[in-house]
Structure 1
């Protein structure tokens, strides 16, 4: 069998050749998509107008990443599907191929496009073009709302790495997650170093202390609705059950945090602040239970990390300092959400009600809370779990520049330190 890089390169070449071929094929593909059908607010950003003198950023990033053929391939495949079940198989294949290719490109095993390989934005916008087309797919047969939701889930889970987290036997198993870019309303160029780190970490295998450690990674959406639907639990749950063949030894959620520091969060809280997500949606409230998975009752107000944080701190990684963030904010018992909020580094008080964990009360905090709430409910107290906030990025001053040397170097350094911290945690697991 040919090496993976050669096989993926061949898939890219053949896919592009098939899609860019005939005008008839392109016309047929366009006829099965109805652009008048509604899309999400997040998907509507694809058509963000170019700044004067600039390019349309989403399309430019897809092109510079070398992914132009992928949305066309998905659309053409959908147009040839003759049933919902056939469409689901197509979307699982298309999503998995997109994820594998993005990982191989990020890790330098194949060469694609002109933008540097650490960039996570081409994958984000390519996947979003795919979900938009699935939402606007208009075949000649009826598709119910539930069926379309199932198709979107099949594609997204495959294209986010969630369906490909197998480890194999005889290895220490580390499962991590990153996030999509977010806060795009004011900065359409945004990258997310946690999602970019996930692409570098997926499939990473190394030897340490006579053991083989293998890392698998997924990327989460920045949407409250995605979390409500159980994406976090669906990603981590199969690796937390007691008799699972692929049971993890360590789980870690990762997100972008404050500039210039890598914080290991000591606590996650049971409250979501409701700040707008990528769909401009959000409402404050307690973190809701997840479908399909057991939930503790009552739910804990705070969950403490069990990551080997001292080993991560002592690993001596750089360029950013690494610290355990002990901060929490809480309401006194029975006063949520109208009472005064107290913030402390001394841990939760007796009966205190969570207002925020160390990492706040946005989706990063909730990714730690949900994954570890499930870990505890499944009795997986022998599995280490927690959250790492990594340094935020600073974008080129010129708004027409998608990437420059300083931005690329800063992001690469942050990603490489994240990889080193995950390896330190895996070694200590």
Structure 2
């Protein structure tokens, strides 16, 4: 049973990622993981090893007090450990299916997805916030994603809202079409409708501004992901009758009033559509026209738009009224550049919490 590493995992062997890992202390994770895998004697023990090491990565990455907040050590360490797990030859029989399950367990646990649980009781306002991995690594292998940094910064944050206390749980999504095809967004967020009071997805956007994306489209426009894969099609969301468009239910006015700071915050209603009458795609500044087909949501036609679409579709299918929607953060690329934006993200999250029922 031989498994080749992925192009994304191979990138982690370059000198720059290795330097990031060595400087951060996350480089120590690999030999410890390898040693524990080697001593595993059956599938159950292997599961425990994978879960505990993945959980440790997430716990270490979300510990408060790191300044600036850096999402890159978690990203690169996850890939290094996953490559190790992918190419591991156990001393016992392990089926293909069990091996795939171990890889999935490692992903969901090291991304915070397995940890999106809230304390019970009426006094809590429960907020889910998600970010993304770094991407465009072929042009800038040392780049950071401010939305991933925000997720690490916010996890476990509590703050008072009137008589109640808001509590934030976060997760970080991969920049890979295949994981979206396989349902990573639904795995993370479907169970939150009925549990959470708001679900906010974040990603890295344009320079110097926040975009509150009002409309999300079902169309994928061909962008290349972290595996070098491109997709141009309707997103293959589960269930029948997926609409062309979904809409944010975030309290836009409240956010615009509260989240002032260094960066401008804009409610973005622009889309690109094929009108009901046909023809080529046309831009519309005020959102889609009736019967149109999506070509770009406010957040474009890449995975940012798609996480926004899938999340708000889950909300609609659950018949939920809670605030849900997407925010594009200013497009900074280094941890020390994110600081002003991260402060404004906290203001945005607090404004969303104030709107909760």
Q: Which TM-score tier does this pair reach, normalised by the shorter chain?
A: over 0.9
- Paired position in structure 2 for 1:185: 138
Q: CA deviation at 1:321?
A: 0.6
Q: CA deviation at 1:90?
A: 1.3
Q: CA deviation at 1:37?
A: 4.0
Q: CA deviation at 1:366?
A: 0.4
Matches within 5 A, 1:231-242: 231-240=184-193, 242=194
The CA distance in 1 between the partners of 2:266 and 2:286, in whole Å, is: 16
Matches within 5 A, 1:326-341: 326-333=269-276, 335=278, 339-341=279-281
The CA distance in 2 between the partners of 1:346 and 1:411, in whole Å, is: 30
User: Could you tell me whether the CA contact under 8 Å between 1:334 and 1:353 is conserved in 2?
Assistant: no
Q: CA deviation at 1:145?
A: 2.6
- Paired position in structure 2 for 1:249: 197
Q: CA deviation at 1:76?
A: 1.2
Q: Would you say 1:205 and 2:158 are equivalent positions?
A: yes
Q: Would you say 1:134 and 2:74 are equivalent positions?
A: no
Q: Would you say 1:82 and 2:9 are equivalent positions?
A: no
Q: CA deviation at 1:143?
A: 2.9
Q: Residue 369 of structure 1: SS of its match in structure 2?
A: helix
Q: Would you say 1:43 and 2:5 are equivalent positions?
A: no
- Paired position in structure 2 for 1:355: 295
Matches within 5 A, 1:60-139: 60-104=19-63, 107-108=64-65, 116-139=67-90
Matches within 5 A, 1:360-375: 360-375=300-315
Q: Equivalent of 2:18, from 46, 59, 66? A: 59
- Paired position in structure 1 for 2:266: 323
TM-score, L = length of structure 1: 0.80
User: Could you tell me whether the CA contact under 8 Å between 2:16 and 2:142 is conserved in 1?
Assistant: yes
Q: Residue 186 of structure 1: SS of its match in structure 2?
A: coil
Q: Residue 236 of structure 1: SS of its match in structure 2?
A: helix
- Compare 163-172 and 179-188 and name the one that shifted more: 163-172
The CA distance in 1 between the partners of 2:300 and 2:28, in whole Å, is: 39
User: Could you tell me whether the CA contact under 8 Å between 1:200 and 1:419 is conserved in 2?
Assistant: no
User: Could you tell me whether the CA contact under 8 Å between 1:252 and 1:387 is conserved in 2?
Assistant: yes
Question: Which structure exhibits the higher relative contact order, with contacts defined as CA atoms closer than 8 Å and separated by 6 or more residues?
Answer: 2
The CA distance in 1 between the partners of 2:43 and 2:220, in whole Å, is: 36
Q: Residue 414 of structure 1: SS of its match in structure 2?
A: helix
Q: CA deviation at 1:362?
A: 0.3
The CA distance in 1 between the partners of 2:95 and 2:310, in whole Å, is: 30
Specify whether residues 316 and 384 from structure 1 end up closer, same or farther in structure 2 by C-alpha distance, changes over 3 A only.
closer
The CA distance in 2 between the partners of 1:117 and 1:329, in whole Å, is: 37
Specify whether residues 228 and 316 from structure 1 end up closer, same or farther in structure 2 by C-alpha distance, changes over 3 A only.
closer
- Compare 36-45 and 269-278 and name the one that shifted more: 36-45
Q: Residue 128 of structure 1: SS of its match in structure 2?
A: helix
- Paired position in structure 2 for 1:305: 248
Q: Would you say 1:418 and 2:332 are equivalent positions?
A: no
Q: Residue 349 of structure 1: SS of its match in structure 2?
A: coil
- Paired position in structure 2 for 1:403: none
Matches within 5 A, 1:157-168: 157-168=108-119
The CA distance in 2 between the partners of 1:132 and 1:423, in whole Å, is: 38
Q: Residue 314 of structure 1: SS of its match in structure 2?
A: helix
The CA distance in 2 between the partners of 1:94 and 1:47, in whole Å, is: 20
TM-score, L = length of structure 2: 0.95
Matches within 5 A, 1:272-311: 272-290=220-238, 295=239, 297-311=240-254
- Paired position in structure 2 for 1:345: 285
Residue by residue over 1:175-199, the C-alpha shift from the partner in whole angstroms, topping out at 9 and shown as x without a partner, is 0100000000011011000000001
User: Could you tell me whether the CA contact under 8 Å between 1:99 and 1:158 is conserved in 2?
Assistant: yes
Q: CA deviation at 1:209?
A: 2.0
- Paired position in structure 1 for 2:326: 387
Q: CA deviation at 1:146?
A: 2.1
The CA distance in 2 between the partners of 1:60 and 1:334, in whole Å, is: 55
The CA distance in 1 between the partners of 2:290 and 2:87, in whole Å, is: 51
